[in-house]
Amino acid sequence: VLSGLSKPWGMPGEHFEKVVMLRDYTTMCLPHHSEILSMIALQEAETFLKRNRQICDENYRLLQEFLLRMSDWFYPLVQEKQVQAESPFPFRASTVFPRLKHPLGGLGSALDALESPSSLAEHLASEYSICMIVSEKFEFDCPAVRFGIGMSSFPKSLQMLEEALNDIRSRAESA
């Protein structure tokens, strides 16, 4: 972790590995290298942030479209203020918590086994190898799901979730 720069700057992993490969360590002293990489990132802030803002903007748009397609499962996101007028999707965070509708999937008693967000997360993990973090883990008062939209792999993950939820729906309807 690079002193809080991991999300907006996209600094973990690849950049740090390049520094680590330069030396042979018997012990790791990460804070010094983290400090150096953090200073480099802060000096080139716009370079790092521009790329990650573009990823978040595009993934936010994809998530909104997904939530509208999956309206039996989720409420759409509501954005109260437009942060920057020049961006059609000025959302500026890499984590989003859309609310889940209840009954899950709008299927009522057909999905009794999936009575809570946690049971849905457990089912997705065991049956579809999809990891979903739900609001109960964050002590939220309403049922919601955590989406990390700062990764370039987000569209593929969203597609997998949509296929799984559609499969759950078709199985419940045919039961």
Residue 134 sits at φ, ψ, to 5 deg, of -105, 165
pLDDT tens digits along 94-115: 888 999 887 676 665 556 667 7
pLDDT tens digits along 120-129: 899 899 999 9
Indicate the residue type of 83: V
| DSSP label at residue 151 | S
Beta strand segments in 90-155, E: 95-96, 133-134, 145-148
**What is the pLDDT confidence band of residue 157, given thresholds at 50, 70 and 90?**
very high
Burial class (CB in 10 A: 0-12, 13-18, 19+), 49: middle
- The answer to whether residues 130 and 106 touch, using CB atoms and an 8 Å cutoff, is no
User: Stretch 11-26: mean pLDDT, rounded?
Assistant: 50
Q: What percent of the chain has pLDDT over 70?
A: 66
